[in-house]
Structure 1
């Protein structure tokens, strides 16, 4: 399996490269179809350098959906250990889920135009009101007061994917998130699956369908 290591604001030593190579053996054992693992180490300093940390991001690509995990610590070696542990746990959960699905088939079922087997509930009205009225502010970068601690809302844009609910749950498990945004392939509705407890998941869908999926050129 090919390994790529990139440092942002920090140098990558030979010792760190050696440790990464050793750690990737665990990943390779759990994901034998993986072709490449990208390791990104980002160093950040806060409050005029009085506080520093390193974030290690791992991205595994191969035959199938990508798998991602990250961790942050004052020591990049500790962050690496934590990120590898999280990535391996995600791979184990995905493997156990596949085995469980083969032995005990279950999942979302459609009957009479309704979705069964997955809890559907709207987003909290209190949260929508708080965002709309500014009670949950968006950080702009202009706040310089040392004690200013707003709720940070990060934004990310990406191309839509048409997936079934079951496929979206699998993607969520592999990237290690608590939710996953997608277009429901059965209804064309923008939807979000989210983690509840154990193997229980929920899905929230908009009532307005997305634009039809374009045929590959």
Structure 2
């Protein structure tokens, strides 16, 4: 497995590199198909944040699978230990999930929170200034392109980006959410065609939101 260690606003000491390489044995033991490990060490210069001054981000790439974990602490070695604990837990969940699928087990069904209908505005403004929120979504974007618009004289900046993704099932969305370590995951449900979000509730319980328009809901009835 290729191991790449880089520093952001800090210098990576040889001892830290050696410790990283030794700890990566835990990764290969759980995920022998891992091809690349990228470790980024960053430093926060604000003295008020001394307890979390060092941040370690670890990204493991195994084929098309990407698993991430990060943690902060007063020193880089403690941050590395915390990040490794999170990473190995996610790797084990991924490994166990694959075993369960091969055995034919099914995962708990997420809680369906129903259809969320967007609010309907009675009147739309006749004209929108160029620095309005509507300007952030006024133009077409290509895959991977993004646009940022500042709202008036406020410090608020709206950023829009187009991400191309294949529709997936709820079970696949839960799997992707666990891999990247987020509390929610946005996807297109391949069974309904609706934009949807899965999210953590508590323990191994999950929820799912689906969004649709009133017109589509009525036509489906």
TM-score strictly above 0.5: yes
Where does structure 1 differ by over 6 angstroms across 4 or more consecutive aligned residues?
none
Question: Where in structure 2 are there 5+ consecutive unaligned residues?
Answer: 117-153, 214-221
Structure 1 length as normaliser, TM-score? 0.70
Structure 1 residues 103-122: Cα deviation after superposition (integer angstroms, max 9, x where no partner): 453248xxxxxxxx321226
In the alignment, the residues of structure 2 paired with residue 35 and residue 91 of structure 1 have an alpha-carbon distance, to the nearest angstrom, of 14
The answer for the alignment partner of 2:191 in structure 1 is 186
Give the alignment's Cα RMSD to 1 decimal: 2.8
Which of residues 209, 217, 220 is equivalent to 1:204?
209
Contact 1:160 1:183 in 2 (8 A): no
Structure 2 length as normaliser, TM-score? 0.69
SS in 2 for 1:34: coil
Question: Does 94-103 or 62-71 show the bigger shift?
Answer: 94-103
Matches within 5 A, 1:86-97: 86-97=86-97
Which of residues 97, 104, 113 is equivalent to 1:121?
113
SS in 1 for 2:92: helix
Structure 1 residues 167 and 37, CA gap change in structure 2 (3 angstroms)? same
The answer for the alignment partner of 1:4 in structure 2 is 4
Answer with 1 or 2: which has the greater Rg.
2
Structure 1 residues 83-122: Cα deviation after superposition (integer angstroms, max 9, x where no partner): 01100001112222333344453248xxxxxxxx321226
Question: Where in structure 1 are there 5+ consecutive unaligned residues?
Answer: 109-116, 125-141, 144-153, 209-217
For these two proteins, the number of residue pairs brought into alignment is 173
Matches within 5 A, 1:1-217: 1-46=1-46, 49-52=47-50, 53-103=53-103, 105-107=105-107, 117-121=109-113, 157=161, 159-161=163-165, 162-208=167-213
In the alignment, the residues of structure 2 paired with residue 28 and residue 156 of structure 1 have an alpha-carbon distance, to the nearest angstrom, of 37
Structure 1 residues 37-87: Cα deviation after superposition (integer angstroms, max 9, x where no partner): 1001111122xx354301100001121320000000111110001101100
